[in-house]
Structure 1
Amino acid sequence: MTSVKEFRIEEPATADDLGRGAFVFTDDYSVFDWGKMPDSIPNKGASLCAMGAANFEALEAAGVPTHYRGVVSRGEAVPLDDIVAPPREMAIDLTRVPDLPHDGREYDYTTFHQEAEANYLIPLEIVFRNTVPVGSSLRSRADPADFDLDHDEWPDEPVDLPEAVIEFSTKFEESDRYLSRENADYIAGEADVDDLEAIAREVNDLVTETAADAGLKHEDGKIECLYFDGEIRVADVVGTFDENRFSYEGQQLSKEVVRQYHKRTQPDWIEAVGEAKTAAKEQGVADWRELCAVKPEPLDDHVLDAVASMYTAGANAYLDRELFSAPPLPKAVERIRSL
């Protein structure tokens, strides 16, 4: 289902009922839509699991429905506060994910929703942006003036937005694309795009406030949702260093650190990825990776160690709990700055 976490089904979902299963978080990572990279980041999976669990529990307490049932300890789903070791598994309710038929880059959402009926994973990612950091795709799709910002061009530093911007992108296409609101509403099926935006804003507000309490700035992120029995529920994982971008005293703390490091150190691969995506679009090929002539190289050990400290120290700060054996956050940030 994803390149960085495994998916276990205990009771499959049906047309009328949710199923049960779990996410098993690995230390794998993915950048630039490549899928699983050739190395892994120690304790990354556990940090994502713990942060995601904390956010789901806070959302449920605030009255926002989710698919979360607890972290897994000794085969049981329990609250995050009940565990003493970093969790690797998250128990969840399961919905259905029909196949999305396509002919090249033409996707058949009508057939998807005929199969989905009223119990399905909504084939959208709902993106919220509080700032426009360096590396954000929004810089290539819009101008500062579109958001009432006093800049002729995007500066070489993060820019705060006057209010959160909500966008919609595809979820199951080989190369995701941003959508008009009208197209997003069509792709969402029975789920209402206005309701999706409202939920995204609630999630954004909660993560932003939690991050601020930890000394972190929440820059942007995304959610995925399921639709069941007329109700939208937040799904996948929420508010982690993979799904969201955070910063600490101006230093990026998220998967963006690894993206930018690859841009600096593996420019040939980055160029090949861009060329392959362009060629795939021109040729109507769904999987652009088939056209990529260069493969990514593993990262050096000192880079993996620094990024691992970012994940674990950042999770400790966000959770306000020493769940991981990690340096203090300022020290972990120093290591990231030196890369």
Structure 2
Amino acid sequence: MAINVKGKLAKGSVKILHIKREPTEKEMGLGSFEFTDDYSIFDYGKMPDTIPGKGESLARMAAYNFEQLAKKGISSHYRKFVAPNEIEVNLVRVLYPQKKEISLHTRNYLVPLEIIFRNSLPAGSSVFKRLDKGELKVTDLGLDKYPFPGQVLPKPLIDVSTKLEETDRYLGWREAKELSGLTEPQIEEAKVWARKVNEFITSKAESIGLHHADGKIELAVTPEDKLIVVDVFGTLDEDRMLMDSVHVSKQVLRDYYKALPWYKKLEDARANNDPKEKWPVPPKMSSKLKEIVGNMYKGVCEAWVGKKIWKAPSVQEAVGEYVEFLEKQRI
């Protein structure tokens, strides 16, 4: 994980980073992620509610995934799980390409990219908007005609976007290379790692009855100029998963808020280039939905790591509750 503050605490929208030793140009730092029950959507920042059990669920799934990744020969910043809702990690520096702080000779820094993998195109996927704007072609997806919501791609699409800009934007691989300070072999290695991580998450999801639609990894360059996986991957916050075409991830929260007048106001504020402090304040979530989503996080975590922690409803039961909620709300 990367840090961009001085001191001993860095708080994001949903994670708190406790800094034990700050990174330098030649040495990694040391810290731990504390996963909270907060959530963030649409790059808004912290939303007004908390989801019971969410933080511990994410921490346990993250730890499990990193430990499995190590068995596949992929290095990461992960050190160990700290019960109940933390993971200890190595830290690297945050450097900004827009400030010309990154070059081919830079070491020990967060790669300012998100490497995205897509297996299918669920409703709400940004791919549809990019197709409509002409930013993507149907052939880029390996298709010969416009896709339908839920369409499975012939093979996973490996995509790339910015990481350290106010609003993420998609890039071509040439621009990604220039922006990131990575060499051509490192860019190719990043793609290979993304495919391997995607294969692992997809297989694990299938084993508990879920379809893995898309997700991402983040990378860092070590002081020795080696790539490692950082941040978190393969959780309900980082990846989009479904059961029988029903979302079982943070997408549930996105869909709920997209149906509210607040979302249109948020889009208008962005279109007007309003500063974040002037964006509309979101309303609180339905208490019933909060309970359902909490059960989703806990149920998936228990199935994923193979351990009963809360004795939560099964994933199937949580999804059934969500479907009933949707029918009543007509969302």
Question: What is the CA–CA distance in structure 2 between the aligned matches of 1:179 and 1:258, rounded to whole Å?
Answer: 27
Alignment pair present for 1:247 and 2:242: yes
Deviations 1:92-115 (A, max 9, x none): 0111113x3xxxxxx6252x2169
Alignment pair present for 1:164 and 2:156: yes
1:195 to 160, 170, 189: 189
- CA-CA distance at 1:325 after TM superposition: 2.6
- Is contact 2:119–2:155 with CA below 8 Å preserved after alignment? yes
Alignment pair present for 1:179 and 2:165: no
CA RMSD of aligned residues (A): 1.8
Q: How many pairs were matched up?
A: 307
Alignment pair present for 1:326 and 2:307: no
Question: What is the CA–CA distance in structure 2 between the aligned matches of 1:54 and 1:149, rounded to whole Å?
Answer: 35
- CA-CA distance at 1:146 after TM superposition: 3.7
Alignment pair present for 1:335 and 2:325: no
- CA-CA distance at 1:6 after TM superposition: 0.3
- Is contact 1:310–1:336 with CA below 8 Å preserved after alignment? no
Q: Secondary structure at the match of 2:272?
A: helix
Q: Which amino acid aligns with 2:121?
A: V
Partner of 1:108: 98
Question: What is the CA–CA distance in structure 1 between the aligned matches of 2:55 and 2:265, rounded to whole Å?
Answer: 28
Q: Which amino acid aligns with 2:302?
A: N
Partner of 1:278: 271
Alignment pair present for 1:89 and 2:81: no
Alignment pair present for 1:227 and 2:221: yes
Question: What is the CA–CA distance in structure 2 between the aligned matches of 1:158 and 1:291, rounded to whole Å?
Answer: 35
Question: What is the CA–CA distance in structure 2 between the aligned matches of 1:184 and 1:273, rounded to whole Å?
Answer: 28
Partner of 1:29: 39
Question: What is the CA–CA distance in structure 2 between the aligned matches of 1:317 and 1:33, rounded to whole Å?
Answer: 29
Partner of 1:237: 232
Question: What is the CA–CA distance in structure 2 between the aligned matches of 1:115 and 1:3, rounded to whole Å?
Answer: 31
Partner of 2:329: none
Partner of 2:254: 259
- CA-CA distance at 1:290 after TM superposition: 3.4
Partner of 2:211: 217
Partner of 2:5: none
Q: Which amino acid aligns with 1:322?
A: K
Deviations 1:122-176 (A, max 9, x none): 111111000011000011112545423354x442x31100111011111111011
Question: What is the CA–CA distance in structure 1 between the aligned matches of 2:271 and 2:188, rounded to whole Å?
Answer: 32
Alignment pair present for 1:290 and 2:300: no
Runs (4+) of structure 1 exceeding 2 A deviation are: 114-117, 142-151
Q: Which amino acid aligns with 1:108?
A: Q
Partner of 1:83: none
Question: What is the CA–CA distance in structure 1 between the aligned matches of 2:305 and 2:236, rounded to whole Å?
Answer: 13
> Unaligned stretches of 5+ in structure 1?
74-86, 101-106
- CA-CA distance at 1:187 after TM superposition: 1.5
Partner of 1:71: 81
Question: What is the CA–CA distance in structure 1 between the aligned matches of 2:267 and 2:99, rounded to whole Å?
Answer: 27
Question: What is the CA–CA distance in structure 2 between the aligned matches of 1:12 and 1:248, rounded to whole Å?
Answer: 41
Q: Secondary structure at the match of 2:232?
A: coil
Question: What is the CA–CA distance in structure 1 between the aligned matches of 2:40 and 2:308, rounded to whole Å?
Answer: 27
Q: Which amino acid aligns with 2:251?
A: E
Q: Which amino acid aligns with 1:258?
A: L
Question: What is the CA–CA distance in structure 2 between the aligned matches of 1:336 and 1:124, rounded to whole Å?
Answer: 34
Partner of 2:8: none
- CA-CA distance at 1:276 after TM superposition: 1.7
Partner of 2:121: 132
Question: What is the CA–CA distance in structure 1 between the aligned matches of 2:79 and 2:114, rounded to whole Å?
Answer: 22
- Is contact 2:211–2:242 with CA below 8 Å preserved after alignment? yes
Question: What is the CA–CA distance in structure 2 between the aligned matches of 1:114 and 1:209, rounded to whole Å?
Answer: 37
Q: Secondary structure at the match of 2:201?
A: helix
Q: Secondary structure at the match of 1:327?
A: coil
Partner of 1:208: 202
Deviations 1:270-323 (A, max 9, x none): 11111122222xxxx7xx42342x210011211100000011111112222223
